[in-house]
Structure 1
Amino acid sequence: MFGELALPVFKVEMLLPGYVARADFQPKGDLLIFLNDQRYSVVRCDNVELFPVMSDGQVRGMKQPMMALGKRHLSGIAVLEAERAAGLQLLAAKRPFVLYTDAYAIQGNLHVNADARDDDVFDGTRTFYAMSDAAIYPLRTLRKAPTRKVPVLAINQHLVIAYHPHHPGGE
C-alpha cells in the first residue's frame, strides 16, 4: 500500500581529526535531526574517500565502499551540492560568525535560536548546528584541504574552541 520512502543522498565532506572524508551520506531522516539524534553514535557513509590531511603524513588516502564514522569526532559535515543544501530545514534566525576548531577557522551564517546572545549561541539541545554560506580556512598547511566554500556546514559545537560575531569590513 505504501511505497518505500526515498531518503536523499548527500555528497558530503567530513572534517575529522587528521582526515577529510568525501562520501555519499544518506541520513535516516532529516540531516540535522539525524546528526543530533543521540541514539546513533556513527554516521554510515558510502563511496568513501578518506584522506590524511597532515603534510608529513605517512599513509595515503583510501577508498572504501562503506565506512562508519564516529559522530563525536566530526568537526563538521559539509553538504557540497547547493540544490541538496537548499532543501535542508534550518533554523530561520542566522547571524554571521567565525568559529575556530583545532584545525580550521570557519566563517559563515550560523543558524541559531532567535533569542540567543552572541556570547551564548550554543545550547544543550543539539550537538550539530547549521552554518550556511560557510568558508573553511585551514590553520596550517595541509596535504589535502577541504572544499573552501560550501553551501551548508553542520558544525559540532563540542569541537568549537572559540567563536565571535563576524563584522564584514570591520575586522
Structure 2
Amino acid sequence: MKEFLPLAEVYAILEPGPVVLLSTAQAGRANLMPMSWHCMLEFEPPQVGCVVSAANHSFKALEATGECVLNVPSAELLDQLVACGNSHGDQVDKFARYGLTALPSAQVAVPRVEECWANLECRVIDRQLVGSYDFFVLEVVQAWHDPTVQAPRTLHHRGYGRFMIAGEEVQTTSKMR
C-alpha cells in the first residue's frame, strides 16, 4: 500500500539526470559546484536549462560572465563531487584542494575538468527566469567526451547524501536517429 510522501522529498523522485560539476570562472578564479537541477530543452543546437541558486558563489560568476562548463563525472569521482558541494568557492580553490585538473576550454573562458568523462562548454542564452527561479538557459557551444567510456556510471542525487549510480543499459527499437 502506498503512503503519503513529504513534498520536500519529491525532487528525489524526479531527479532529472546525472549530477554534474558546474565550472565557472570570474576574474581569473575558477570554481566548481555540484548541480543536479538541470534538463535538456532542445536537441540542435543543444540547450540545457538549469537552476543555480543565487545563494551560491557560482551564481555570481555565471550571472556576470554568462559562461560555464557542465562536467559529467562518473562514480569514481563521488568523493570529490561531495567535497566540492560541502565547501565554498569563495574560500577554497576546489580544483587544487580536491585533486581535479583544470583544462582550457575551446569556446568559453571557463576550465573543464579533465577527470570527468564528458564536458559541455556553455553560454547563457536566456535569463528570463533567473529573477524568479534562478533558472538559466544555456546553449552548448562545444562538447567533449572520452570515447573509451561506453557506459558511464553516472551519479544521480537522491537527497540527503544519497546517490544512485546508473546501472544496466537496455536497447529497444527507436525511430530517433
TM-score, normalization: structure 1?
A: 0.31
Q: Which has the higher helix share?
A: 2
